[in-house]
Amino acid sequence: MQLLNPIALLLALTIPLIILFYILKPRYQEKTISSTFLWEKVIKDLEVSRPWQKLQRNILLFLQIMAAFLLALALSRPFVPLEGKAGSHIIAVIDCSSSMMATDVRPNRFEIAKGQIEDLIDKLGPYDLMTIVAMGEESRVMISASDSKIKLRQALQKIEITAGSASWGPVLEMIESLVRDEQRCKLVVFTDGGLKKPKNDHKLDFPVDINMVGEHGDNIGIITLASRKHGDHVVVLTRLCNYGSEPLKADLELRVDKNLQDVKEVELKPGITRSVVWEGIDSSANVVQVKINRPDYYMLDNEAYTVVKQTDKNRVLLVTTGNIFLEKSLGLLPDVELYRTTPENFHKEMTGYQFYVFDRYIPAETPRGGILFIDPSGDNVFIKIKGEKKGIYQPQKTERDHPLLKYVETGDWRIASCKEIKCPAWCRTVLESKHKVPLMVAGELNGQRIAVISFDLHNSNIPLKTGFPILINNLAQWILSPEDGVVMDVSENSFRLGHTAGIEAVYIEKEGKQVSQYHPPFPASFTLPEPGLYQVTRVMSNTKKTNYLAWNSLNPQESNIAPVEVAFKADENPKGPKTRTSSQEIWPLLVWAILLILVVEWEVYRRGY
Partner 1 sequence: MKEYFNQEFLGHLERLVLRIKKLKSGTKSGDRRSLRKGHSVEFTDFRNYTPGDDVRYTDWNSYARSQKLFIKLFVEEQNVLITIFLDMSKSMSFGEPPKEKLARQLAGAFAYIILSGYDQLCLAGCIDHINQYLSPVRGKAAVKEAWDFLDRLDFTGTTDLNKALQDFGRYFHRPGLSIVVSDLLSSRGFKEGLKYLQYLKQEVVLVQILAPDEINPSLFGDMRLIDSETGHVQEITISSNIVREYQKRLRHFTDDTRAFCYRRGIPFIQLTSNEHFDDIILHKMLPQGILE
Shortest Cβ distance from residue 41 to partner 1 (Å)?
5
Q: Nearer Cβ to partner 1, position 7 or 33?
A: 33
Shortest Cβ distance from residue 12 to partner 1 (Å)?
29
Q: Nearer Cβ to partner 1, position 26 or 577?
A: 26
Reply yes or no: is the peptide bond before residue 107 cis, omega within 30 of 0. Answer: yes
The binding site for partner 1 (CB under 8 A) comprises: 25-43, 45-46, 56, 58, 608-609
Say if residues 582 and 127 touch (Cβ distance below 8 Å).
yes
- The upper half-sphere exposure of residue 337, i.e. CA atoms within 13 Å in the direction of its Cβ, equals 9
C-beta neighbour count of 567 within 10 angstroms:
6
Say if residues 312 and 229 touch (Cβ distance below 8 Å).
yes
Per-position DSSP letters for 44-67, written without gaps between them: IIIIIS-SS------HHHHHHHHH
Shortest Cβ distance from residue 143 to partner 1 (Å)?
55
Shortest Cβ distance from residue 35 to partner 1 (Å)?
4
Q: Nearer Cβ to partner 1, position 32 or 446?
A: 32
Q: Nearer Cβ to partner 1, position 51 or 608?
A: 608
Shortest Cβ distance from residue 48 to partner 1 (Å)?
13
Interacting residues of 208 by C-beta distance below 8 A, sequence separation 6+? 186, 187, 188, 189, 568, 570
- Determine the Cα–Cα distance for residues 54 and 322; give it in Å rounded to an integer: 122
Shortest Cβ distance from residue 50 to partner 1 (Å)?
12
Q: Nearer Cβ to partner 1, position 41 or 575?
A: 41
Shortest Cβ distance from residue 602 to partner 1 (Å)?
13
Say if residues 382 and 450 touch (Cβ distance below 8 Å).
yes
Shortest Cβ distance from residue 25 to partner 1 (Å)?
8
Q: Nearer Cβ to partner 1, position 176 or 603?
A: 603
Say if residues 380 and 362 touch (Cβ distance below 8 Å).
yes
Kindly give the pairing relationship between strand 208-212 and strand 370-374: unpaired
Kindly give the pairing relationship between strand 259-268 and strand 248-256: antiparallel
- Determine the Cα–Cα distance for residues 240 and 254; give it in Å rounded to an integer: 13
SS3 511: coil
Shortest Cβ distance from residue 65 to partner 1 (Å)?
17
SS3 126: coil
Shortest Cβ distance from residue 33 to partner 1 (Å)?
5
Q: Nearer Cβ to partner 1, position 34 or 200?
A: 34
* SS3 labels along 85-110: ECCCEEEEEEECCHHHHCCCCCCCHH
Q: Nearer Cβ to partner 1, position 30 or 511?
A: 30
Q: Nearer Cβ to partner 1, position 44 or 158?
A: 44
Shortest Cβ distance from residue 16 to partner 1 (Å)?
23
Angle at CA 544, nearest 5°, toward 541 and 548? 145
- Determine the Cα–Cα distance for residues 585 and 242; give it in Å rounded to an integer: 59
Query: Which of these, 3, 67, 75, 77, lies nearest to 595 by C-alpha position?
Result: 67
- The upper half-sphere exposure of residue 28, i.e. CA atoms within 13 Å in the direction of its Cβ, equals 3
Q: Nearer Cβ to partner 1, position 35 or 446?
A: 35
Q: Nearer Cβ to partner 1, position 24 or 567?
A: 24
Say if residues 198 and 135 touch (Cβ distance below 8 Å).
no
